[in-house]
Amino acid sequence: MSDETTTIVHPLTALAEDIQARLPGVVLGTQLEKDQMTLTVGRDTILEMLTFLRDDPALEFKMLVDLFGVDYPDRAERFDVVYNLLSLSKNRRIRLKVAATETTPVPTAVGVFNCANWFEREVWDMYGVYFDGHPDLRRILTDYGFDGHPQRKDFPLTGYVELRYDEERKRVAYEPVKLTQDFRKFDFESPWEAMTDVQLPGDEKAMRPVRGYKELKKSAT
């Protein structure tokens, strides 16, 4: 009897290895998690990778389902631009990821997938990632005079300016937000305010914390 065991390779792992073999040096890293394969690609090769995945007969990832940004403020390259691709003919999905900063443009994918147009405008609007070569890179969700990029994790919840209609000037006016720390309330009496080690009255049906759980002290009657 043979002692050799058969190693089962996940189909998406085999797919990633095949892509790496046929495009050497383009894939910077791979990650398989929850049946989702993510390939990390450099900014200078993202268009090559997108075109290859779209046009190769064995792959046919012809649909760009989504393109979005993620913010990691503690990283040197704080943003990720993420591309979700779908192959209807092969019934497979794959994800690409490109790192960027606000000063390192990412080549626009509009020439490969026309639907990237509005996706990239949204990433620019929300995160401030610039897409080089985009035909019409302007805000799409916020007002044209909006200050900042609201999905950055260091963007204040109150924003930088407030908008109101000025009756005297008969026009819309922008004014700096004047919200001092004195008006912020931290009572720590709600599960939303870091009370993670106790179970509050009325919340008995909720799941108890995995660590640090302790019973509330009952008042003497």
Supply the DSSP string of 115-151, one letter for each residue. THHHHHHHHHHHH---EET-TT---SSS-TT--S-TT
**Residue at which a domain ends, from 97, 121, 141:** 141
Lowest mean pLDDT among 4-8, 88-92, 161-165, 195-199: 195-199
* pTM for the predicted model, two decimal places: 0.75
Q: Do 62 and 133 sit in the same domain of this protein?
A: yes
Among 73, 71, 90, 84, smallest CA distance to 38 is for: 84
**Residue at which a domain ends, from 141, 173, 196:** 141
Give per-residue pLDDT as tens, 174-202. Answer: 888 876 545 445 555 555 544 555 555 55
- Any domain includes 122: yes
Please report, rounded to a whole number, the percentage of residues in the chain having pLDDT higher than 90.
61
The pLDDT of residue 183: 45
Q: Does the pLDDT value for residue 220 go beyond 80?
A: no
Q: Do 113 and 152 sit in the same domain of this protein?
A: no
Q: Do 121 and 34 sit in the same domain of this protein?
A: yes
The pLDDT of residue 90: 94
**More confident call, 161 vs 139:** 139
- Any domain includes 220: no
Distances (CA, A) of 142 to 14, 122, 145, 153, 161: 42, 9, 8, 17, 13
The pLDDT of residue 19: 96
Q: Does the pLDDT value for residue 13 go beyond 50?
A: yes
The pLDDT of residue 91: 94
Domain extent, residue 37, equals 11-141
Distances (CA, A) of 83 to 25, 94, 162, 218: 19, 8, 33, 53
Among 162, 182, 180, smallest CA distance to 172 is for: 162
Q: Do 195 and 173 sit in the same domain of this protein?
A: yes
